[in-house]
Structure 1
Amino acid sequence: MTTTVHPSVARARRRRTAVPYLLLAPALVAFGVFKAYPVVDSLLLSFTTGSGAAARPAGLANYRRLLDDPLFWTALRNTAEILVVQVPLMLGLALLMAVGINSALVRWRAVWRLGVFMPAVTGLVATGVMFAFLLDSRHGAVNWLLDAIGLPVVDWFGDPFWARMAVVLVLTWHYTGYNAVIYLAGLQGVPKELYEAAMVDGAGPVRRFTAVTVPALRPVLLFTVVLSTIGTLQLFDEPYVLTGGGPDNATLTVSMYLYQNGFRYFDFGYASAIAYALTLLVSVLGAVQTRLMGEREK
């Protein structure tokens, strides 16, 4: 038996069905215009050479050029070296900081949380300018302090090694508190019964940290490791403001090299190829980290 739906009821149903799409329409249009279109256009641009009306198809020439470009590999090596040093240092300090703040012996936790998080809300350009003054070889406060306690001063921006360490220092100062607050939120979700059971079994502070705290925080650790890795691979602001990529390209990162090709040399096709090479690298590393830490969790 067929049920006949009154036209007014059918119209009401269509209106109710259309309402969610109407509400989503502004966000979908904005996503399409400002996200999806630039991504697709950049991909198409990576297969061209020249700029503007002079752009012409180039096939895979830009990607082949990447393989033979020594400056690209220098930028990639610099980024990798900063990543390998900075991410473990920052996350290790953040975890220890979070455990300290979470201790029952600490008072005024809200004040401590605010204090450790403050660097994260400082603008990246302002942070770079501030550390440029602090690490100045002649008049910087850091070298003045080193000299005052009898240690040799450091040529922070003239020596390639110390220039990279200056970038690591700035990144660690800026993002450690941000990750510490994330870890602190995770620690507050760990059942106290686990620590009490470990204490009954005779576990000391170090053993409780390795056997209870770290396993309980594994999903949070995975989140921060992947997020920090992606952020460091896209590193631009700090070395751009602090060192300008010098000395002798020692702090040139992949994102800075992309910027130089796109907005200094107006080679947008090659810059787009660099962007997609970086996207592929970020995706592969993120997938590998997720897979490895996920297998450990099992």
Structure 2
Amino acid sequence: MQTGRSTRGLRVKNAAIGWSFVTLAAVMICLFYFYPMIQAFIMSLQSGMGTNLAFVGLDNYARLLKDPVFLTTLKNTVIYLIIQVPIMIILALFISVLLNDKALKFKGFFRTAIFLPCVTSLVAYSVTFKYLFGQDGIVNIMLMKLALISEPVQWLTDPFWAKITIIAAITWRWTGYNMIFYLSALQNVDQSIYEAAKIDGASPIQTFFKITVPMLKPIILFTSITSTIGTLQLFDEVMNITAGGPGNATMTISQYIYNLSFKYTPDFGYAATVSYAIVILIVIFSIIQFKVAGDKNA
């Protein structure tokens, strides 16, 4: 009987200790994550100038579908997403396979060099790209010296080339970040699998598509979702390279939220509504990616 009481007392003590650690973290998460999310949703149901807001229900969400600027930023953001993310994922996967080759020399140098862009300042690298792709920038100078173009390309003032510049910038920065995930996963793959495939006569291409890609499927899904989220929230590059121009040709949803809050006449309620549009897009694209990957829990 005494043993049973001491056991229960020990369980209660352990539970109390455990909850003392968990409670603080749970309170902080609720305070700094869930509370702002709820407040933002409530604000999205309001409208008005500055902080003088009035409840308007779902009018802001109906306004989204008729807002030409929002529809333009939505189109731009989706274009970045469907073009840049696949290119970046494929490039990161290809580079990680090359850098995982045991015969490759100076692997540490190449890994560091490719990963380095993602730790540089967002503003600094964006401004650097702005000067590189300027009308008199080094990119145009090199292309003209190589006789690939006869006159400077309007990288920042032409709607098409401005989008290409943004895509090039974010691909340069984030490819190394995704490469690290693939490289870490590849280093944990049993090499005997590749040796067996080689003995069976499998070519490098067959090995890549039949062994490497299936084994990296969870990591590919993870990087695809995180890259999708990052692209839907794209702001710094567009703001610092093209400022959303020419016109609104490169403006993203996040930049539109910034403009609604701080550049135009402040309408925090409608800005919160646009913010929730990003949340909805993230959920939709994440579900699609889970379904395409064949995740049964999606």
TM beyond 0.5: yes
Aligned to 2:57: 59
Shift of residue 215, structure 1, vs aligned partner: 1.1
Aligned to 2:212: 213
Shift of residue 290, structure 1, vs aligned partner: 0.9
Aligned to 1:109: 107
Quote the Cα distance in structure 2 between the aligned partners of 1:12 and 1:207. Answer: 57
Aligned to 1:184: 183
TM-score, structure 1 normalization: 0.91
Identity rate of aligned residues, in percent? 41
Measured against aligned partners, the alpha-carbon deviations of 1:159-206 in whole angstroms (never above 9, x if no partner) come to 000100000010010001111111111111222122122212211111
Aligned to 2:145: 148
More divergent stretch after superposition (146-155 vs 162-171): 146-155
The residue type equivalent to 2:141 in the other structure is W
Aligned to 1:95: 93
- Aligned-partner SS, 1:54: coil
More divergent stretch after superposition (87-96 vs 106-115): 106-115
2:291 is the counterpart of 1:294: no
Matched-pair contact (CA < 8 Å) for 2:260–2:268: yes
Aligned length: 293
Aligned to 2:271: 271
Aligned to 1:30: 28
The residue type equivalent to 2:144 in the other structure is D
The residue type equivalent to 2:259 in the other structure is Q
The residue type equivalent to 2:243 in the other structure is G
Shift of residue 256, structure 1, vs aligned partner: 0.8
TM-score, structure 2 normalization: 0.91
The residue type equivalent to 2:216 in the other structure is L
Shift of residue 28, structure 1, vs aligned partner: 2.9
Selected match of 2:132 from 134, 143, 149 = 134
Quote the Cα distance in structure 2 between the aligned partners of 1:5 and 1:201. Answer: 64
Quote the Cα distance in structure 2 between the aligned partners of 1:3 and 1:283. Answer: 52
Quote the Cα distance in structure 2 between the aligned partners of 1:243 and 1:2. Answer: 75
Quote the Cα distance in structure 1 between the aligned partners of 2:269 and 2:63. Answer: 11
Aligned to 1:125: 123
Selected match of 1:75 from 69, 73, 76 = 73
Aligned to 2:284: 284
Shift of residue 16, structure 1, vs aligned partner: 4.4
Quote the Cα distance in structure 1 between the aligned partners of 2:17 and 2:201. Answer: 61
Shift of residue 17, structure 1, vs aligned partner: 3.3
Quote the Cα distance in structure 2 between the aligned partners of 1:24 and 1:216. Answer: 35
Shift of residue 20, structure 1, vs aligned partner: 2.7
More divergent stretch after superposition (258-267 vs 14-23): 14-23
Shift of residue 125, structure 1, vs aligned partner: 0.9
Per the alignment, do residues 233 and 98 of structure 1 end up closer, same or farther by CA in structure 2, a change over 3 Å counting? same
The residue type equivalent to 1:142 in the other structure is V
Matched-pair contact (CA < 8 Å) for 2:50–2:267: no
Shift of residue 110, structure 1, vs aligned partner: 2.1
Shift of residue 15, structure 1, vs aligned partner: 5.2
Per the alignment, do residues 209 and 16 of structure 1 end up closer, same or farther by CA in structure 2, a change over 3 Å counting? closer
- Aligned-partner SS, 1:72: helix
Provide structure 1 residue ranges, at least 5 long, that are not aligned to the other structure.
Answer: none
Quote the Cα distance in structure 1 between the aligned partners of 2:73 and 2:154. Answer: 21
The residue type equivalent to 1:127 in the other structure is Y
Per the alignment, do residues 13 and 102 of structure 1 end up closer, same or farther by CA in structure 2, a change over 3 Å counting? closer
Aligned to 1:236: 235
Quote the Cα distance in structure 1 between the aligned partners of 2:241 and 2:59. Answer: 33
